[in-house]
């Protein structure tokens, strides 16, 4: 009974390690991606230079990722009470992702090390194949109507409508266009698929 429970926990840790790694890697890579978005989406047309826009984005990301940054302050963008409440909700999700990453990645690596020692990496094949197919199905749904997918995503993760920003009170939304978030989803998809494909390759190689 104990062995079965531990086996389940090992697989759960591996799943959450992949999800949290994907989330955090995507979050960090947006720091590189956002300057490209500024140029590609012509975001400087809203009146701020690329340098200032990037500085404000970094301030937002510092608030969302660092537990010790208790208040959101962006140099060039005011934030309404509802906007601040939404970003506080996002911050909780980000910190949860960081906590899961810190707890599950070492556990998952130890589990993978045991599978390798026991020459049981072939066990990764089926879960990795299923894991690779699920994001494809989600991506197909999102590609049909990203607007509706975006709305549904927010309804799943947030219990209020604070995410419906008014540009007059929360102008930050003007420089965080929907296209930026669609690119974030694409990036997360690529990272997660890369993890799953790596698992499939390792499993197949273990048969040789």
Q: What is the DSSP string of the chain?
A: -HHHHHHHHHHHHHHHHHHHHHHHHHHHHHHHHHHHHHHHTTGGGGS--HHHHHHHHHHHHHHHH-TT--S--BTTB---HHHHHHHHHHHHHHHHHHHHHHHHHHHHHHHHHHHHHTT-GGGGHHHHHHHHHHHHHHHHHHHH-HHHHHHHHHHHH-SSSTTS--TTT-GGGGGS-HHHHHHHHHHHHHHHHHHHHHHHHHHHHTT-
Domain residue extents for the chain = 2-205
The first and second tokens of residue 105, run together, are 């990645």
Tens of each residue's pLDDT in the chain, 208 residues: 556 677 789 999 999 999 999 999 999 999 999 999 999 999 999 899 999 999 999 999 999 999 999 999 999 999 999 999 999 999 999 999 999 999 999 999 999 999 988 888 888 899 999 999 988 888 888 888 888 888 888 888 888 888 889 999 999 999 999 899 999 999 999 999 999 999 999 888 876 5
Nearby residues of 56 by Cβ (< 8 Å), 6 or more positions away: 48, 74, 75, 76, 77, 172, 175
pLDDT of residue 207: 63
Q: What is the pLDDT of residue 152?
A: 85
pLDDT value at position 55?
97
Which pLDDT value is given to residue 2?
53
144 phi, psi to nearest 5 deg: -70, -40
């Amino acid at each position: 009974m104990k062995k079965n429970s531990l086996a389940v926990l090992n697989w759960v840790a591996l799943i959450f390690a992949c999800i949290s790694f994907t989330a955090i890697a995507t979050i960090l890579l947006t720091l590189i991606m956002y300057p490209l978005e500024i140029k590609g989406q012509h975001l400087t047309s809203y009146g701020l230079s690329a340098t200032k826009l990037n500085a404000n984005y970094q301030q937002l990301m510092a608030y969302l990722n660092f537990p010790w940054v208790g208040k959101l302050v962006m140099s060039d963008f005011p934030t309404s009470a509802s906007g601040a409440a939404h970003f506080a909700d996002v911050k909780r999700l980000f910190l949860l992702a960081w906590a899961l990453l810190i707890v599950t990645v070492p556990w998952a690596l130890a589990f993978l090390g045991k599978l390798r020692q026991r020459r049981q990496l072939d066990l990764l094949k089926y879960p990795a194949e299923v894991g690779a197919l699920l994001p494809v199905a989600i991506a197909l749904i999102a590609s049909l109507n990203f607007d509706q997918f975006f709305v549904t995503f927010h309804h799943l993760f947030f219990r209020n409508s604070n995410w419906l920003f008014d540009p007059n009170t929360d102008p930050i939304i003007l420089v965080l266009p929907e296209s930026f978030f669609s690119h974030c989803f694409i990036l997360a998809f690529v990272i997660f698929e890369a993890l799953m494909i790596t698992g499939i390759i390792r499993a197949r190689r273990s048969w040789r």
